């Protein structure tokens, strides 16, 4: 037989009493008391009716046998003629009492009896209603106790699960940092050897080897950027605080368009006209550059070679700078648009099948850490445009 679960009284939780101990191990209340109450409730109206009749009979007897004679005695004190029994002062004071039971006084006795019976019936009905309300309240309190115990059990289970999730999240963060550290070391080794080999091989002597080494270097740079995205994304989710300083917009956009991590063999990245002369922003230049590079790389990876990508920026009257990345490629399918900025979201039209799906999630985290916002819009029949805002002055930051 399964024992009921009892929540301990630690942590400010009240121990369950005897009524609340009917909660079973599967979190459901024991239905037996309800069935018993239902069977008893079937005979309850009949018992209430008999009790009401008994109240009426007792009230009638009290009115006829007690109230009526006593009233005769009281009437004789005020005026002997009212009682109809005392013809002279020498008669006993109990004479009105005995006179009340004579046949001629029966109608008055019936009146007193009926009056007393009515009062007794009204009082009995009122008492029965109070008893019913008390029973209903006790039953509701019992149900509330059971629900409270179930809630306490669920709260205790959720607390334990939250503790486990917190421990797992902390272990995941440590594991991510260790992985990033190892990957960075391996990638730096690959980049170093590729640079050494490129310095020793002349392009005109061995063009195929030179092209292969350049591809190795480019892929290593690309992987290094992805690893740094993973590290920064984990850091921003843990602590969204960033170090802000004044950054000029036009040089930042030009450096991002010419970044070595971009897959330039798939297309070209241009700088828009409005970034020239744009006001500066308060931002972390490394994070902001990586956001622009990720948006440009995302546009190149998800489209065919030859796609035109334009990075641009423009100031707004609200004291913000709107950065944009526009391409003339395939655009974003509607079914993908809803989950663009989620973790590890990938589109089905990606040309680069090695995409991790973390780029846009990192962009969203980095932009929101600066107090801005990021969104997508379709520029027309084809292509895609990603925009995000960065405040030109320091303001209150939002959580990632």
Mean pLDDT of 50-78: 82
Q: Is the pLDDT of residue 368 over 60?
A: yes
Q: What is the pLDDT of residue 387?
A: 94
Task: Please tell me whether residues 251 and 161 are part of one structural domain.
Answer: no
Task: Please tell me whether residues 254 and 385 are part of one structural domain.
Answer: yes
Could you tell me if residue 113 is inside a domain?
yes
The lowest-confidence range among 41-50, 97-106, 377-386 is 41-50
Question: In CATH, what number is assigned to the domain containing residue 256?
Answer: 3.30.565.10
pLDDT band with cut points at 50, 70 and 90 for residue 394: low
Q: What is the pLDDT of residue 389?
A: 94
CB 266 within 8 A of CB 307: yes
Q: Which of 141, 166, 191 is the last residue of a domain?
A: 166
Could you tell me if residue 124 is inside a domain?
yes
Q: What is the pLDDT of residue 10?
A: 41
Could you tell me if residue 17 is inside a domain?
yes
Q: Establish how many alpha carbons lie within 13 A of residue 155's alpha carbon, considering only the half-sphere containing its beta carbon.
A: 11
Q: What is the pLDDT of residue 258?
A: 85
Alpha-carbon span 291 to 55, nearest angstrom: 87
Could you tell me the residue range of the domain that residue 349 belongs to? 242-391
Task: Please tell me whether residues 159 and 58 are part of one structural domain.
Answer: yes
Could you tell me if residue 211 is inside a domain?
no
Q: Which of 145, 166, 187 is the last residue of a domain?
A: 166
Task: Please tell me whether residues 154 and 266 are part of one structural domain.
Answer: no
Task: Please tell me whether residues 151 and 285 are part of one structural domain.
Answer: no
Share of the chain above pLDDT 90, in %: 18
> Three-state SS string across 252-315, please?
HHHHHHCCCCCCHHHEEEEECHHHCCCCCEEECHHHHHHHHHHHHHHHHHCCCCCEEEEEEEEE
Task: Please tell me whether residues 260 and 356 are part of one structural domain.
Answer: yes
Q: Is the pLDDT of residue 204 over 80?
A: no
Task: Please tell me whether residues 154 and 39 are part of one structural domain.
Answer: yes
Task: Please tell me whether residues 251 and 145 are part of one structural domain.
Answer: no
Mean pLDDT of 214-234: 72
Could you tell me if residue 139 is inside a domain?
yes
Q: Which of 166, 184, 209 is the last residue of a domain?
A: 166
Could you tell me if residue 219 is inside a domain?
no
The count of structural domains within the chain is 2
Q: ∠ CA(74), CA(79), CA(84), 5° rounding?
A: 85
Alpha-carbon span 250 to 275, nearest angstrom: 5
Task: Please tell me whether residues 262 and 153 are part of one structural domain.
Answer: no
């Amino acid at each position: 037989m399964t024992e009921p679960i009892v929540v301990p009284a630690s942590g400010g939780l009240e121990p369950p009493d005897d009524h609340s101990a009917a909660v079973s191990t599967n979190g459901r209340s024991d239905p037996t008391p309800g069935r018993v109450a239902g069977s008893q409730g079937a005979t309850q109206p009949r018992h209430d009716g008999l009790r009401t009749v008994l109240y009426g009979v007792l009230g009638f007897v009290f009115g006829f046998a007690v109230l009526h004679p006593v009233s005769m005695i009281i009437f004789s004190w005020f005026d002997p003629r009212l009682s109809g029994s005392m013809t002279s002062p020498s008669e006993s004071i109990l004479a009105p009492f005995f006179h009340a039971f004579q046949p001629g006084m029966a109608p008055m006795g019936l009146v007193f009896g009926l009056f007393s019976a009515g009062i007794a019936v009204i009082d009995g009905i009122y008492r029965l209603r109070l008893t019913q309300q008390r029973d209903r309240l006790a039953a509701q309190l019992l149900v509330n106790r059971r629900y409270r115990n179930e809630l306490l059990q669920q709260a205790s289970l959720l607390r334990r699960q939250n503790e486990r999730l917190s421990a797992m999240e902390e272990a995941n963060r440590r594991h991510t940092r260790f992985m990033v550290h190892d990957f960075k070391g391996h990638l730096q080794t690959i980049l170093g050897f590729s640079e050494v080999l490129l310095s020793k091989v002349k392009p005109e002597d061995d063009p195929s080897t030179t092209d292969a080494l350049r591809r190795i270097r480019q892929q290593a740079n690309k992987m290094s950027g992805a690893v740094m995205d993973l590290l920064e994304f984990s850091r921003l989710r843990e602590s969204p605080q960033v170090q802000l300083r004044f950054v000029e917009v036009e040089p930042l956009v030009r450096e991002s368009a010419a970044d070595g991590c971009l897959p330039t063999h798939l297309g070209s990245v241009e700088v828009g006209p409005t970034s020239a002369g744009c006001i500066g922003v308060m931002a972390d230049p490394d994070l902001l550059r990586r956001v622009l590079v990720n948006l440009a790389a995302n546009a190149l990876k998800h489209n065919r070679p030859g796609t035109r990508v334009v990075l641009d920026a423009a100031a707004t009257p609200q004291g913000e700078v709107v950065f944009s990345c526009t391409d003339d490629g395939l655009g974003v399918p509607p079914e993908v648009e809803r989950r663009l900025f989620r973790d590890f979201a990938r589109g089905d039209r990606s040309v680069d099948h090695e995409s991790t799906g973390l780029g846009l999630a990192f962009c969203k985290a980095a932009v929101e850490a600066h107090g801005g916002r990021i969104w997508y819009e379709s520029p027309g029949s084809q292509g895609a445009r990603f925009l995000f805002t960065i405040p030109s002055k320091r303001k209150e930051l939002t959580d990632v």
